[in-house]
Structure 1
Amino acid sequence: MILNEEVLKHALIGGTILGGGGGGSREEGILLGREALKYGSPELMPIEVLKDEDIVVTVSAVGAPAAKDKYITGDDYVRTIELLKKISGKDIAGIITNENGGIATINGWLQSAKLGIPLIDAPCNGRAHPTGVMGSIGLHSLENYVTYQAAAGGNKENGMYTEIMTKGSIDNTAKLVRQAAIAAGGLVAVARNPVSVKYLKKNAAIGGIHHAIELGKAFYEGLEESGEKAVKNVAEVLNGIILTEGTIRRFNLNTSGGFDVGSLWVNEYELTFWNEYMTAEADGKRIATFPDLIMTFDKNTGFPVTSAEIKNGQEIIIIKADKSNLKLGSGMKDKKLFEDVEKILDKEIIKYVF
């Protein structure tokens, strides 16, 4: 699939929706995508174009999207590929994104366009997730596995620019990258986890980017009629339902440890989020639990809004779709990775998922 302005339009909306409250800002995704298209028309390729032994790396942004001092340029995304090649010594045959989201779905477009490395439709996860380990496609569970990660970001003019190269376990390197994001003002571009195509075929969310593009098409088809029709189309494509619509009567957001954490209330519903929406409850009864997709839309425009963009008093529509209707990577199948969610939110998660 040749990537152009029309595909960008659909990918950004579909990706933002599949971000489930996280995955970065669609506005920043527009800028990143258009910058990539200045260098030509990169192509989204199926994983079958590569050999099983070829090496593919994951690219992403890591941090808190609501951080006031966050700063990433297109050069930072490209720089991480250069740093990763330097520390790992590996030839990179393909690039994948870590997840879907407003920025995340576009991750890799610029690197592919500028460096000529194929962009492969095999994201680590078909929806957004809060921690780097969740997007590690099961590598954290491999005994003695050693990975490489590189990160860059921050405003050079105020002395916050930071870049790191790190080698070690998935968990330790992910924590170092998160600390780099904090040092850089809240967000960094990342390249990480060189793996074989053979491994990806078993553990990635194959076709996840195409899924986002098709979802975006359905959204815009509905938008020709109304914002509410656009949201209904999304729910239908995902085999989901509209939970409620109304005015946000209470909203809490704290940026801490490189994450956005908080909650909001609409009618009888409470949503909690850790970058992404984690739970939906109605009068205390659990209705949906991550990795189920919970997403918010502006009632007046129909457009999706992330947890970092939500405002108290805003009129929104809330939808949910069961995880069985999503394309998920192997990181979503590890019970241990959900323990941190329970600690952060002080809510039971695991018993609703596994």
Structure 2
Amino acid sequence: MDEITIDDIPALTLGAGVLATGGGGEPFVPRLMVEEALRRHGPVPLVQPGDLDPDGLLLPLAVVGAPTAFAERFFNGSEPRAALTALERHLGRKGVGVLPIEVGGGSTLLPIAAAAELGLPVVDADTMRRAFPRGELTHFHLAGISASPIVLVDTADNLVIVEATDNPTAERLARAATTAMGMIAVGALYPVTAAQAAAHAIHGSLSYCAEIGRHVRAIQEGAADGYTALLAATGGRIVFTGKIVDLNRRTEGGWARGTVTLDDLDGANRTLRVDFQNENLVAGEDGLPLVTTPDLISLLDVETGTPMTTETLGYGQRLTVLALPAHPRWHEPDGIELAGPRAFGYDLDYVPFGGHGE
């Protein structure tokens, strides 16, 4: 695909729901925003980093905050463009393209809307190949690239610029500002050149997201081989199918934290617990971890095939628990150190799952 049209948005939304692993921002309002932007401005060119001037500035964008806040606060539509133009003013340079920080939830869709409004291409890449709850959990951070300056814009058009000495500090300061903004904002961060993105971004992420979405749509339409095709395309597997029997969810420190417990649908004496911090991070049965971050844990509604966000989980829901291997770069020692379970305070080692991707 060499451009993104309004017809591509349903697949991108579904794929973003899977890659969000419960977080990434609720996609409904961002979907409305990107569809309106594409209707007004037409298709957005989809380019590779190497297609652009190597010294040209890329404008990365993401949703920042707690998914539970999306149930009460809505974007007004101006935030993505405001964040990126403020970043351009701060740097004294114009951007040549927009880059998604993550392919997950609303963070996949808002960069496309911003690109349409700014008349720029969107880059077929990201920095995670999934959603993560903290801003330093990126391939750019692994490459030593600074997240600063970070521009945050909230739903009331307040704007904050964060300049920090290192990326973990930038995350803490940005998280504190986002909490004061009502726990939801649009963030422009990790300004990079096209050459830096060519070297360190994960290429093909939007195309991969759309491919996943097409497979999920086939599942929703009742295709007999729907899950088989999805698992073949992603290297994933189904680890559990169950009904929610317990849900502990709270908003704390700018994140949605908690656990969801499922009993096996087939009547077997099996129970699965999923721990989340915005995103699902650990899935375990009988106290033994089956899947851990940085690999992906996605929950799909059994009846509808809808990818579930942490804020839409409810007692009695029947879910398919899908595990997808992370991008291979996350499986390297520094990737595991940055994004493995111990990085989130769990006293357990990464459980190898396998690799898939470019």
Q: Same fold (TM over 0.5)?
A: yes
Identify the residue that residue 177 of structure 1 maps to in structure 2.
174
Identify the residue that residue 244 of structure 2 maps to in structure 1.
248
Identify the residue that residue 192 of structure 2 maps to in structure 1.
195
One of 279, 284, 289 as aligned partner of 1:281: 284
Identity of aligned residues (%): 23
**CA, structure 1 residues 78+295, in 2 after alignment: closer, same or farther (shift >3 Å)?**
same
Contact 1:133 1:331 in 2 (8 A): no
Structure 1 alignment gaps of length 5 or more: none
**CA, structure 1 residues 49+343, in 2 after alignment: closer, same or farther (shift >3 Å)?**
closer
Shift of 1:224: 2.3
Identify the residue that residue 268 of structure 2 maps to in structure 1.
none
**CA, structure 1 residues 351+55, in 2 after alignment: closer, same or farther (shift >3 Å)?**
same
Q: Matches of residues 312-323 of structure 1 in structure 2 within 5 Å?
A: 312-323=315-326
Identify the residue that residue 348 of structure 2 maps to in structure 1.
348
Structure 2: how far apart are the matches of 1:188 and 1:50? 29
Shift of 1:297: 0.7
Q: Matches of residues 119-130 of structure 1 in structure 2 within 5 Å?
A: 119-130=122-133
Q: Please, which moves more after superposition, 49-58 or 183-192? A: 49-58
**CA, structure 1 residues 185+213, in 2 after alignment: closer, same or farther (shift >3 Å)?**
same
Structure 2: how far apart are the matches of 1:115 and 1:243? 42
Structure 2: how far apart are the matches of 1:229 and 1:311? 28
Aligned: 1:57 with 2:59: yes
Give the residue type in structure 2 aligned to 1:322. Answer: P
Identify the residue that residue 4 of structure 1 maps to in structure 2.
5
Q: Matches of residues 84-163 of structure 1 in structure 2 within 5 Å?
A: 84-135=87-138, 137-138=140-141, 141=144, 147-154=148-155, 156=156, 162-163=158-159
Identify the residue that residue 43 of structure 1 maps to in structure 2.
45
Structure 1: how far apart are the matches of 2:337 and 2:164? 20
Identify the residue that residue 267 of structure 2 maps to in structure 1.
none
One of 162, 165, 174 as aligned partner of 2:161: 165
Contact 1:63 1:186 in 2 (8 A): yes
The DSSP-based 3-state class of the residue aligned with 1:74 is coil
The DSSP-based 3-state class of the residue aligned with 2:120 is coil
Give the residue type in structure 1 aligned to 2:15. Answer: G
Contact 1:231 1:302 in 2 (8 A): no
Q: Matches of residues 210-225 of structure 1 in structure 2 within 5 Å?
A: 210-225=207-222
Give the residue type in structure 2 aligned to 1:249. Answer: V
Structure 2 alignment gaps of length 5 or more: 264-270
Structure 2: how far apart are the matches of 1:350 and 1:242? 19
**Cα deviations across residues 286-321 of structure 1 (Å, max 9, x unaligned)?**
111111111101111111111221112211111112
Structure 2: how far apart are the matches of 1:183 and 1:131? 17
Give the residue type in structure 1 aligned to 2:222. Answer: E
**CA, structure 1 residues 4+184, in 2 after alignment: closer, same or farther (shift >3 Å)?**
same
Shift of 1:149: 1.1
Identify the residue that residue 74 of structure 1 maps to in structure 2.
77
**CA, structure 1 residues 21+240, in 2 after alignment: closer, same or farther (shift >3 Å)?**
same
Q: TM-score, normalised by structure 1?
A: 0.88
Aligned residue pairs total 343
